[in-house]
Each structure stands twice: as structure tokens, then as C-alpha cells.
Amino acid sequence: MSMQDLAVLGKLLLDILVVWALIYSGLRIIRNNSRTIQIFKGILVILLIKIVAVFLGLKALSALIDTFLNWGVVAVLILFQPEIRSMLEKVGKTTTIFNNNVTEGEYVHMINQLIEACTAMSKTKTGALITIQQSQSLEDYIETGIKMDSEVSSELIKTIFQYGTPMHDGAVIIQGVKIACAAAYFPPTTKDLPSKYGARHRAAVGISEITDSITIIVSEETGNISVAIRGQLTQYKPEGLQRLLMNKLVIPEAESSNLLDPMIRSARNFALNRSKRQEITRKEDERVKAMEIVDLYSQNGGRRNG
Ligand SMILES: Nc1ncnc2c1ncn2[C@@H]1O[C@H](COP(=O)(O)OP(=O)(O)OP(=O)(O)O)[C@@H](O)[C@H]1O
């Protein structure tokens, strides 16, 4: 292969890589926000109607949709203005696109502080609701609370949830290793939960159904600690919760989020054969010994989101 061929191949690969990164970023922005998902679905429906109109020769409908689509770019710019602005802000801070800037040590410290706080609140039966943002943004919900920008510390968490204080009602949201807000409101689940679970647990399950967040609940009534993930409520002892959070949040720095993540992950998954993957999943499951698992979906007709 000549140098010229190599140069052409290199350009081609770079081209594919850049387009991949742009599409991936675009899809992340859409997926990270419940509002953008709805708008994106709406646009898809309109495009589908357009295809059907062309196929059936419905000229008036087709022309109407054309006019709508022509103005669509302006409409999208107006509708997505907050998302576009935040995306450009992120591009400005290039580090956040390639690395979320949180070290493994900082995560471990945050987890230890959370465990300390939850253990103490569990003993004193102080009700608490703490949600940790994962890949899907919780900005919409942070807006409903009282904004903060503070390091997670056991003392601060306990103070926030101290009964009678102005911020004890609602949820604390953690982004990275910082408390982004307190007193946030979540849309409660519409599912029938066992009667022992009230509004706090309903809110936790609700947010876990619509985002990939991890929500810790300390019950005011029993002092029990539970976690809601993907619509499933699981009760943990503090040690189990610590293992769960370590497994979910502490990833080796070399694997931390960047634009090439999906490619690296696909390549790695491809390389691992099926049985090996099952073995790894089994070992990870064993590390988290839950006391009680309430699978809300199997109790309610088996619907499961994502
Ligand atoms: N939609 C919501 N979003 C955020 N927080 C909520 C929401 N609904 C209730 N909460 C919080 O839950 C508290 C009420 O909890 P409630 O006692 O009804 O629930 P519970 O699931 O039975 O919990 P516990 O076991 O602690 O009693 C409220 O004071 C408020 O702090």
C-alpha cells in the first residue's frame, strides 16, 4: 500500500470518526433531556406523515408539511435554544466533553460521605431522598429545587434533611461529586407500590423510571435505606449501598467518559465472548448483596422502560 493510499485511508477514518462523534453528541443531547426527546419524537412523526403523504400523492398535505419543515429549522433553533446554549457552553469548556473532570478519588470520597450520612440518618430515622445524576441530565429537576454548588459532605447532607429546616422537603440532586440542589420535586410513579411505600418512595421510583439516575431513600418511618434504579426499588444495608455505589460510579480513570466511549465499548464487547460476559455480570451481581428487591414491573404487568 502506497503512502497516498494510506493518507486517503487516514482521511476516511478521520471523517467517519468525526461524523460518529457528532451524531453521538447529538443523540446524547436528545436523550439527556425529557423535553428534547418529546420534540424529537414529534419531528419524527411529522417526517413519517410527509413520507405517507408523498407515497399516497396527497399534494396539499405534502405542501403543508413542506412549509412547516422549511420553517422547522427556525422553530428548532427557538425550541432548543436552552439546549443549544448549554451544548456550546460545554464545547467552550472542552474538558467536560472529553472527561467529566472528576477523579476516582473524588468519587470514593463522595461515596464515603454519602454512606456516613445515610447510616446516621437511618439510625435517627431522618427521611432523605438523594438522587445521583448519571448520563441523563437532571437539569429540568434541578430547576424545581433550591440551587446549590457544594461538595458532598456528610454534615451538609444531614443538615439539609434535618426535620423542620426549610430544605428538608424534596430531593437532593448530586451532579458529579457536588450537590446541585436541594428540595427538588420529582414526578411520582403512577404504579401501585406496596402500601408501606409513601410519597418519598413514589418520587424516587418516578425519577428512576424516566432517567438513568440512582436514587437513595432513607425512610423516616423505618430508617431503612433503599435505592431506586430503573424503576426497581432495592433495600440495602450501608455496606451493600457502598458496594453498589462503588460499582456504579467508580470507573477506572482510563475508562472515564469521552466521545470515543461507545466505539471503545463496542469493540470491547465484541472481543468478549458471551459466556465471559455472563461470568462478569454474575460476579458483579454477587458483589451487591441486596436485602430485599421490589421488582415493581413484575408486580404491575411486566412493563419495563429501556
Ligand atoms: N414528588 C416528590 N418529590 C420529591 N420529594 C417528595 C415528593 N413527594 C414527597 N416527597 C418527600 O417525601 C416526604 C413525604 O414522605 P412520605 O412519608 O409520604 O413518604 P414515604 O415513602 O412513606 O417515606 P417514609 O418511609 O420516609 O415515611 C415529603 O415531606 C417530601 O420531603
For residue 26, being part of any structural domain is answered with: yes
- Region 41-61: mean pLDDT is 88
Question: For residue range 239-290, what is the model confidence (pLDDT) as tens digits?
Answer: 999 999 999 998 654 444 455 555 555 555 555 555 555 555 554 444 444 4
The model's confidence at residue 22, banded by pLDDT at 50, 70 and 90, is: confident
In sequence order, what are the beta bridge partners of 233? 228, 294
For the CA atoms of 201, 296, 180, 240, the dihedral, rounded to the nearest 10 degrees, stands at 90
Grid cell at residue 192: 401501585
The enclosing domain of 112 has a CATH number of 3.40.1700.10
Mean of the pLDDT values across residues 132-159?
94
According to the model, what pLDDT value does residue 278 have?
55
Total number of domains in the chain? 2
Mutate to test the pocket of ligand 1, among 160, 168, 200 (most ligand atoms within 8 A of CB): 200
Quick one: 63 and 151 in the same domain? no
**For residues 21 and 169, which has the higher predicted lDDT (pLDDT)?**
169
pLDDT digits (tens, 9 = 90+) for 91-103: 654 433 344 578 8
284 domain-assigned: no
Q: Is residue 125 part of a domain?
A: yes
End-to-end CA distance of the chain: 45
Q: Where are the beta strands (DSSP E) in the chain?
A: 128-132, 146-151, 171-175, 178-184, 214-218, 225-229, 232-236, 292-295
| Mean pLDDT over the full length of the chain | 80
Residue 221 counted as domain residue: yes
Cα-to-centroid distance, 147 and ligand 1 (Å): 20
The ligand 1 atom at the shortest distance from the C-alpha of residue 186 is: 3
CA of 200 relative to ligand 1 center, distance in Å: 3
pLDDT of residue 113: 97
What's residue 130's pLDDT?
A: 98
Distance 129 CA to ligand 1 centre (A): 8
- 149 is in which domain, residue-wise? 104-249
Looking at residue 254, the DSSP 8-state letter turns out to be G
Domain assignment of residue 254, yes or no: no
Measuring from atom 22 of ligand 1, which residue has the nearest CA?
198
